[in-house]
A and B are shown apart, each in its own frame.
Chain A
């Protein structure tokens, strides 16, 4: 069985696992003043510096959370009375937190429509919060966050970006992006599940969502998940190697894409092919065959892929992302996401191609000769 669902979660790197295990062997509350507490505090602060380096910020700008979802929720809960504007292709943790928000449209290429966005931002109440993801989890399409942040500033708004799917795939620089808030998640960069971070600008004022102790500089109460934080720190440090592997990963993904297109010809539609995409993601639709059927067939063929975002997996629903891109339901309900990662090898790509070919041949009566 091979794993090609890195956008859902990533296998931990051995050094991360070792660091988590070592941290779990120890104990101590980072808020305690005795030796045990001080050691735990040192662990947390070392990890904070590593996560800060990943995002190009000062350590004090990093607030550890239990997940990317919590970090996203913190933004909206922390700015009561604010007018929210998000895009139509955001993660459910953003969409569900902002049921009354305005939604920025995307073009058919899957990129935020900047001219439509400007019209909306221009007339929005000042000090609105714009939230747009840096990389879409289903399609891998890179969103024009820097441009949106410039527009947001020009019209007196604040900007948040969910960069969960961008970390380790794109170099992230908080200041260059021009945002006020940024979300990260550990388990998307070969770190442990159950760890996230919200990066905030130095001037940002955010009301805490979790109240109680003074942890995280009074911004998020609750005793720190020391082992998880340690793992996040190591994963953040090792993520630079993923940045170095991008060209090779891009070759693998492009080979996979080309091979699947050669097999199915016009029966396969690559989503977002005209847009800038991160190197690890391929979203491909086989109209007429439901996503769920495809995922199950691939699973039987020994390849773990996803029908879309993991949060949508297990539910039979059409992708809201593809719908927002204007795809018909027969395409939006027939898409599969294949995502590569740090362990993906050429042999995995070839196995994936073979499994997909079998799926295609079983579901199409007259497979093209290109499949031979």
Chain B
């Protein structure tokens, strides 16, 4: 028969291999509920895109992601399972947990980029010796003598981070895996610097200002 759609795209359909934990009827890997008995199902091994009901692509519609997440999480609201048995309550809680993880991964471009590389089995495990620009910022931060200097480092890192994310996405779209891995290394370095800036800035703050910033009010 002609016109057969790629079968691997439909692996998730109910095919008799997976069964409802309660009624033992066939269920789809993507199904949250058994369509035979209506019972919430355990978390299955599906990718983050499938968990949110999104097409698997690096450029996702962020509004759609938010709306899908909202719709799915409403259904998994623990309040709605209060009167159910332990098993159902447990599965619902785990489904919600898995949904939250998937949402966080897909929502943040950097995490999504990393996940995309993993999904495509193109993730490089090379640690690398650091990007020149990251090294430069690191040196600058090491000699920063006041909070204003730290802010300048943070600003440069922030700008580079924004540009880097765009570069990462472009590389992923073009399936330039090496470029993407390099971009990811730089972005990791920039994120680490931003974290260190915060710590160093607090140390360099005058005592009174620092206390207010760190400790807050009692």
Which A residues are closer than 8 A to B by beta carbons?
A: 13-16, 18-19, 49-50, 53-54, 56, 170-173, 176, 234, 237-238, 240-241, 243-248, 250-252, 255, 259, 342, 345-346, 349-350, 353
Contacts and interface: CB of A to CB of B under 8 A. Distances in A.
Contacts of A349: 3, 5
A18 B38 contact: yes
Contacts of A346: 4-5, 7, 10
Contact of B68 (A50, A171, A248): A171
B5 A15 contact: no
Nearest to A347: B1
11 contacts: A14-B25, A15-B34, A18-B36, A53-B80, A171-B70, A244-B53, A244-B72, A245-B53, A247-B55, A346-B4, A350-B2
Contact of A15 (B38, B54, B56, B67): B38
Given A241-B30, A241-B33, A345 B13 contact: yes
Contact of A245 (B4, B30, B38, B71): B30
Interface string B54-85: 11100000001001101110110100100000
Contact of A19 (B12, B38, B49, B50): B38
A50 B74 CA distance: 9
A15 B72 CA distance: 19
A173 B71 contact: yes
Contacts of B10: 248, 346
Contacts, number: 106
Contacts of A19: 38
Contact of B38 (A238, A244, A255, A342): A238
Given A54-B75, A251-B9, A353-B3, 5 more contacts: A15-B34, A15-B35, A237-B38, A248-B10, A252-B5
Nearest to B33: A238
B37 interface: yes
Given A246-B53, A255-B5, A14 B67 contact: no
A176 B70 CA distance: 11
A233 B77 CA distance: 15
Nearest to B39: A15
Contacts of B4: 346, 350
Interface in B1-55: 1-7, 9-10, 12-13, 25, 28, 30-38, 49-55
Given A246-B53, A247-B53, A350 B3 contact: yes
Nearest to B67: A171
Contacts of A234: 38
B13 A176 contact: no
Interface of B: 1-7, 9-10, 12-13, 25, 28, 30-38, 49-56, 64, 67-68, 70-72, 74-75, 77, 80
B67 A173 contact: yes
A15 B30 contact: no
A351 B74 CA distance: 37
**Counting chain B CB atoms within 10 Å of each CB, which of A171, A238, A250 scores highest?**
A171
A18 B37 CA distance: 8
Contacts of B3: 255, 259, 349-350, 353
A353 B52 CA distance: 30
Given A171-B71, A248-B13, A241 B31 contact: yes
Given A345-B13, A346-B5, A350-B4, A243 B38 contact: no
Contacts of B56: 247
**Counting chain A CB atoms within 10 Å of each CB, which of B12, B33, B77 scores highest?**
B33
B12 A237 contact: no
**Counting chain A CB atoms within 10 Å of each CB, which of B5, B13, B56, B72 scores highest?**
B5
Nearest to A238: B33
A170 B80 CA distance: 22
B120 to A, nearest CB: 17
A237 B71 contact: no
A259 B5 CA distance: 11
A237 B33 contact: yes
B23 to A, nearest CB: 9
Contacts of A171: 64, 67-68, 70-71
A255 B53 CA distance: 19
Given A53-B75, A53-B77, A171-B68, A244 B32 contact: yes
Contacts of A50: 80
